[in-house]
Each structure stands twice: as C-alpha cells, then as structure tokens.
Structure 1
Amino acid sequence: MPTLLACGSNGAGQLAIGHVEDAAVFSPCVFDPSCPPFESVIDLVSAASHALLLVSAEGRSHLLGAGTNTHGQLGKACALTDSSRPATSFRPLSIVRDAGFEGWEPIKVAATWTTSFVALESPDGSAARTQVIVTAGSDDFGELGGGVIRLKDGERVEHLRGGQRHVLAVLSSGSGNARKQRVIGWGAARRGELDPKPQPPMGKGKARVTRTRPPTELTLELSSPIIDIALGASHTLVLLANGRVLAWGSDLKGQITGLDDATGVRAIGATWNGSYLLTDKLWSQGSNTHGQLLRSDAGETRAPRLPVPLEAEAVEAFAAGSEHILALARAAARTDLWAGGWNEHGNLGVGNTIDSAQLLNTGVRATRVWGGCAASWALV
C-alpha cells in the first residue's frame, strides 16, 4: 500500500494517525483491518473534524473516513458510530448504503465544514451508466442540497469541490466537439459565492440570499472548457483550459481583484481568504494575516497579486489548506514538499507551530499533496 502521511489539527482524530493530539511533523496514517489493501489514492478531503479518503483497490474505488461523526458526515451506520470516541484510523464508510445506492461506486469526494459529498456511478451492467451526488452531515447553510442530487440523463460529474460552506459541481455531457459543461452550486450564498454576475451594492436594510437549496445552475460565459475549480470561505475560482480564470464572490480581502486579467495559468488554489495561481511562477493575493501569501508583507488584508519568492527552482504542483499552502517544488535536482502560512496546529509539518511567511522545505519527498482545515496530507 502507498504511504499516506498527515500533520496538523487532530482534536477529532481526523488525521487518522492513531491518536487525537495535534501533530507538528508528518506522521503515517493508520488503516483499520476492515480497509481493503489499496493500490492508489484517488482523492482526499478534510474539513473541521473529519476526513474522506477515496482509494482504488482491485480495480474498484472505496470510500474511507476518519474523525468524528457528530453531524452524520461519516454516515449513519458506519463503524465510526459504534462509540462516542473519535475514529483515529481510516475505516470504510456507509454513506453510499445509507443513501440507498448499495453497489454504486464512489468516484469523487468533497467536504465543507461538517458535511460530506460523494459522487457515485451506477454498477457495471446496469442499463445505462448513471451518476448522482449524495450528501451527509450538517445542513446549516443548505449544504445537503436536498440529500440526493440527480443529474440529467447522460451527464457525469467532472469536478466536485467544497469550500467552507458552499459547493460547486461541474457536470458534462457528450464528447468531442459535442461536449457540453454546466455548473451547479448550493450552500452559503450571502457573499455572492454562487453568483458569477457582478454584485451591485445592496441598499440599506437589504440582504442577499443567505443560502441556496436545492442546487442552482450558474450562468457562465465560457471561452474554453473548465479544467478545475477552487473554493475559499466565500469566493470561487474557475480555471479554463485556455489559461484564463473566472472569479466571483467576496472580495473583502482582495482575493479576486484582477483575476480576470491573469493568463497562462496552469493551476489554481484558494485558502479561506486568498487566491493562488501557478503559471511559470506561483502568485498569491488576498489576506496575509498569518503570512499565508508567502510574502514579507504579513498583516496586509488586501495584498495585490505578486509572485511568491522561492528558494526552490520551480513549483511543480501545489495545494491550498484553510490558511496555508503546500507545494511540490524542485531544488537541487530533487522534488520536496514545501509549506508556508498559518501553522497554529503544526500543519506545516516542520516540527513547530510558528507561522511562516515563506515556503519551508519539510524534507518530505512526496508525489501528491492535499490541504485541509489546518491539516496537511502527503502521499510518499
């Protein structure tokens, strides 16, 4: 089995490292004997107190989870609910069975603060391969979206992402030149995070829609296909295949100012109040209260987009956590995991809890990284 490491906030056991203490260094994740031996990790998401892990074993994907289940975000009847103690190892989940889709295969996962989202595909041999999105957990901001989100005939889920309290899914149908995409969103909506149209000033005493449920289709003018999405606490980023970026939602910290001018973008990321673009350089903008923009102007709340100073030669890939950044960067003919930003829970993995306004080399040689709520994950 591949080795999965984790560090950071762990009061609910969500890192699956065998205990409920925060970890300031990367530690191996623990897997319950009920988990299947897996060959690869498909995806991983972690939120306030739980984590979802999608793995591939014997040609089929399996959904695992760790942490607490106080809101049912890990399923109603899974092993994690057998006691009141947090599950400190990864175990199989019952979310798929709970939703009435026994035998369907999980293909994508996402999470908001205390809610889980799983895209499922119907079993082989069914009359037509069908996909749905099932939800579990809290519904404070309409995150459940009604429970089961059914797609149109022939549609599939290309991307599924959760922010702090809102969710977006990119759905597609057809193939080749006939391929079409549409975007649906639900959850928190007060700051325009589900409305790509420019937000006019609100009159005195008026308030925006606070939440959207069931999912609504977003009106987008696409100059190129969508290849990725990233969600912050209350803003949304969309990356197009032509290297352009669409952005909407809150700009209170300057997190989306001028993003429509960016070109040649290869990857995007969002912390709660910041935005990050990877071109030939790594760029950052937004809130920098904990040095999470990886620049010396820590404390600025509307920092303009600037390139991140690097000791490494180049950033090959990166992931954004709640207010920290993980990067696979090349230096001296090797690629290591670098980290910077907010570090209150040791989520930078460098052995301390001191914030860093620059990327620090953790010494971990990873092939993939994921950022969560004050948590970091690396596949080695």
Structure 2
Amino acid sequence: MPTLHACGSNGGGQLAIGHAHDVATFTPCVFDSSCPPIERVVDLVSTASHALTLVSADGHNQLLGAGTNTHGQLGKVCALTQSVQAATSFRPLSIARDTGFEGWEPVKIAATWTTSFVALESPDGSAVRTQVIVAVGSDDFGELGSGIIRPKEGERVEHLRGGQRHVLAVLTSGSGDGRKQRVIGWGAARRGELDPNPHADRGKSKARVRTLPPTELALDLPSPIVDISLGASHTLILLANGRVLAWGNNLKGQITGLRDVADVSAIGATWNGSYILNDQFWSQGSNTHGQLLRSDTGETHGPRATVTVAGGLETFAAGSEHILALSRASSRMDLWTGGWNEHGNLGLGNTADGAQLVNTGMHASRVWAGCAASWALIE
C-alpha cells in the first residue's frame, strides 16, 4: 500500500516522523511497534500540536495519535502519558476507554486547536448498533460540549468536522437521497460561525454569545449534505445538488457570493479563505501569504477568482493557510502544493511562500492538510 508521509510544523512531534523538528520535505511517518498491522488509512486530522489518524487493521477501525498531550487531547490512559516528552510516532489511543466506551469502534474523527473528537460505534453483537461522539482535551471555547453527544435513536454520525475553535456534526437517519439529516454545532460562536441565517448582521457592533453548547442549527436542506469544511470562524457546507451553504465571519470576503455558485463538486476552507471546485478551481478571502494561489499576493480581501491548475484537478485539501492538490497524470495523480510555507509545509525543500500551485514531483493517492502541516499517501 502507499506509505504515509508528512511535512511542516512539528514542534509537538505531531507529524509522527521520529523527532520534533519541522521538515520541509515529505518524510515517512513512524508507527510504534504497539500499532496493529495497518491495512489502510481511513482518515487523518491535525491541528496545533497533535494529530489523529483512523486506520483499518484486522477488519476494524483503530485510533492512533501523535504529538503533545498537555490537555489530554490524546487520552488519559495510554502510552503517551508515561513521559513528558511528545510522542513522535503514531501510537494507539485510549480515548474510547477513557470516556467509558471500551470496546466501541471509532468511525469518525475531528479536532480543533487542542481538542479531539471521536465518533464511536457500539461493538458487533450489540442488540442495537448505536453511535456517540466523545470529546477530550481543552475547553477554551466550549469545544468539549457536554463531553458526550448522543444522537437520537436510529441516527448515525455521517460527517464530523472541526475548525479552529468550532465543530459541526451531521446526524443522519435513513439512507440514499431520502435520508434525513440534522446539523449539530458547538464551540466558538462570536463571529457567526454557528449561525446559518444568511440575513444575519455580520457587523462588528453585533453582540453575539462567545460560545454555544451542542445546538441543532436551523438549516433548510433542499439536498443532502455531502461535505463540510470549517475555517477559523466561517463554515462551508456542500450539498448533493452542487450548491454551497456558507456563513460566519466575512471580514476577508471569504463567504461572499458562495450561495450563488452552482455545480460545485468540492469545497475547502483555510483560516480566512474559501475554495470551490466546479468546472474550474476558485479561491477567495485573505491572500496575505499567497494562499489564494494567484497573482494578487498580499491582498487581505481577495474576491473570487480562478486558480491556474496544470492538468485536471481531481481533489484538494485546505490547511490553515495552504493547499494540497492532486491532478491526474496518466494512471497516477501528481501532488501540487501552494500558499503559506513558514514551516516547510509545502514539501518543496524550503520555507518560501508559494503564490501558485507547484508540482512536488511526487505521486499521491490521498492528501490531508492541517495547521501548517501536510500529509500524503505517497505511491
């Protein structure tokens, strides 16, 4: 199988590459000997100083983590807590056991700055298969919510995403296009990131609550939700009909006009920018470090414009202020990167920001982007 590589910010050892120093080239990740034989990487999230990865092993999902555990974001009872040193390799986590759900299988993961979220499913053989969302780590902006979120009977967690300080979960019952969905949000709320009302006053003078507990958001869903992406304080939702719902902070123009765009197939949010893919690749918002991947570098309020991409863009991942993209090249996909690069997170061997997508010369099958960190399954 392809091997997992990482580059960028690594002060907490969160890249799991065997040390706690930044690297500017994609470097193979290290898996501790306590990890089970890994069949595939299901998902990965990384933030300020820790990373979670969901892997398939022995026919079941397993939760692994790396980095610092100063707030308990990697669990209370695990190998990571036996030393004050950061864990610089991926190791099994005990979050399910710590939260009273030993034996439950992780099915979704998310993270905010120093908080982790795991959707767990009851074990095989349970009378009724149920799911819960558990949260561990810091609670600076109410990210822990109630600690445990229990969907209604018959619901499952279809999507779970974390931004810098807010979280969204899509809880679904039924299947297919007729499935019913509701969206729960919690965490930071002062800048409207949990207020989907398109007519809400976004002005600075508007008084808002600082945080919200887990709250069902009032959303009109003409089509099922297929993806979510969260910036520092704005929210994007992609619907199956190709339309985008967007709300929250718009001081950088990061959500202007997005509800009017059609035929969107993919979305992404950096801290202060938004990216959409339809027949072309588009970016808007802050471009102070070239993260919009176009000529108006330094612009703090860049309007929506196209991004030049060589070949056909298949998919992309948005990090804190950088982009990873995969374009089709014959039977393989080329890995391209661009944007903010202070920690070498573009994987190009330097720390110079890139105002356009650059081919790394590597082939990858999947990519993830975090806080000044990049991850790729390299072929």
TM-score using structure 1 length: 0.97
The alpha-carbon deviation at position 203 of structure 1 amounts to 8.7
Q: Is the 1:184–1:217 Cα contact (8 Å) retained in structure 2? A: yes
Q: Single out whichever of 114-123 and 325-334 deviates more from structure 2.
A: 325-334
Q: Give runs of aligned pairs for residues 120-269 of structure 1, distance below 5 A.
A: 120-176=120-176, 178-197=178-197, 198-200=199-201, 207-213=207-213, 215-269=214-268
The alpha-carbon deviation at position 78 of structure 1 amounts to 1.0
| SS, match of residue 364 in structure 1 | strand
Correspondent of 1:321 among 316, 319, 322: 319
Q: Single out whichever of 186-195 and 174-183 deviates more from structure 2.
A: 174-183
The alpha-carbon deviation at position 146 of structure 1 amounts to 1.2
Q: Is the 2:188–2:212 Cα contact (8 Å) retained in structure 1? A: yes
| SS, match of residue 363 in structure 1 | strand
AA partner of residue 290 (structure 1): H
Q: Is the 2:75–2:95 Cα contact (8 Å) retained in structure 1? A: yes
Question: Which residue of structure 2 aligns with residue 344 of structure 1?
Answer: 342
The alpha-carbon deviation at position 258 of structure 1 amounts to 0.3
Q: Give runs of aligned pairs for residues 70-89 of structure 1, distance below 5 A.
A: 70-89=70-89
| SS, match of residue 153 in structure 2 | coil
| SS, match of residue 30 in structure 1 | coil
Q: Distance in 2 between matches of 1:233 and 1:73?
A: 19
Q: Distance in 1 between matches of 2:352 and 2:264?
A: 31
Q: Single out whichever of 78-87 and 175-184 deviates more from structure 2.
A: 175-184
Q: Distance in 1 between matches of 2:72 and 2:240?
A: 37
Q: 1:371 to 1:223 in 2, by over 3 A?
A: same
Q: 1:53 to 1:333 in 2, by over 3 A?
A: closer
Q: 1:318 to 1:176 in 2, by over 3 A?
A: closer
| SS, match of residue 318 in structure 1 | strand
Q: Distance in 1 between matches of 2:225 and 2:170?
A: 8
AA partner of residue 366 (structure 1): A
Q: 1:201 to 1:51 in 2, by over 3 A?
A: closer
Q: Give runs of aligned pairs for residues 56-75 of structure 1, distance below 5 A.
A: 56-75=56-75
| SS, match of residue 367 in structure 1 | strand
Question: Which residue of structure 1 aligns with residue 354 of structure 2?
Answer: 356
Question: Which residue of structure 2 aligns with residue 377 of structure 1?
Answer: 375
The alpha-carbon deviation at position 2 of structure 1 amounts to 3.9
CA RMSD after TM alignment: 1.3
Q: Is the 2:43–2:53 Cα contact (8 Å) retained in structure 1? A: yes
Q: Is the 2:202–2:249 Cα contact (8 Å) retained in structure 1? A: no
Structure 2 residue 275 is the aligned partner of structure 1 residue 276: yes
AA partner of residue 324 (structure 1): H
| SS, match of residue 363 in structure 2 | coil
Q: Distance in 1 between matches of 2:113 and 2:336?
A: 25
Q: Distance in 1 between matches of 2:372 and 2:319?
A: 7
The alpha-carbon deviation at position 364 of structure 1 amounts to 1.4
| SS, match of residue 200 in structure 1 | coil
Q: Give runs of aligned pairs for residues 285-296 of structure 1, distance below 5 A.
A: 285-296=284-295
The alpha-carbon deviation at position 234 of structure 1 amounts to 0.1
Q: Spell out, residue by residue over 1:211-233, the C-alpha distance to the aligned partner (whole angstroms, 9 max, x if none).
A: 012x0000111111110000000
Q: Distance in 2 between matches of 1:378 and 1:278?
A: 20
The alpha-carbon deviation at position 29 of structure 1 amounts to 0.1
Q: 1:9 to 1:177 in 2, by over 3 A?
A: closer
Q: Is the 1:2–1:39 Cα contact (8 Å) retained in structure 2? A: no
Structure 1 residues without counterparts, runs of 5 or longer: none
Q: 1:151 to 1:332 in 2, by over 3 A?
A: closer
Q: Give runs of aligned pairs for residues 41-60 of structure 1, distance below 5 A.
A: 41-60=41-60
Q: 1:177 to 1:333 in 2, by over 3 A?
A: closer
Q: Distance in 1 between matches of 2:189 and 2:33?
A: 41
| SS, match of residue 152 in structure 2 | coil
Q: Is the 2:202–2:250 Cα contact (8 Å) retained in structure 1? A: no
| SS, match of residue 97 in structure 2 | helix
Q: Distance in 2 between matches of 1:300 and 1:222?
A: 34
The alpha-carbon deviation at position 331 of structure 1 amounts to 4.5
The alpha-carbon deviation at position 178 of structure 1 amounts to 4.6
Q: Is the 2:179–2:224 Cα contact (8 Å) retained in structure 1? A: no
Q: Distance in 1 between matches of 2:180 and 2:204?
A: 37
The alpha-carbon deviation at position 207 of structure 1 amounts to 2.4
Q: Where in structure 1 do 4 or more consecutive aligned residues deviate above 6 Å?
A: none
| SS, match of residue 264 in structure 1 | coil
Question: Which residue of structure 1 aligns with residue 105 of structure 2?
Answer: 105
What is the aligned residue count?
377
Q: Is the 2:74–2:116 Cα contact (8 Å) retained in structure 1? A: yes
The alpha-carbon deviation at position 200 of structure 1 amounts to 2.0
Question: Which residue of structure 1 aligns with residue 116 of structure 2?
Answer: 116
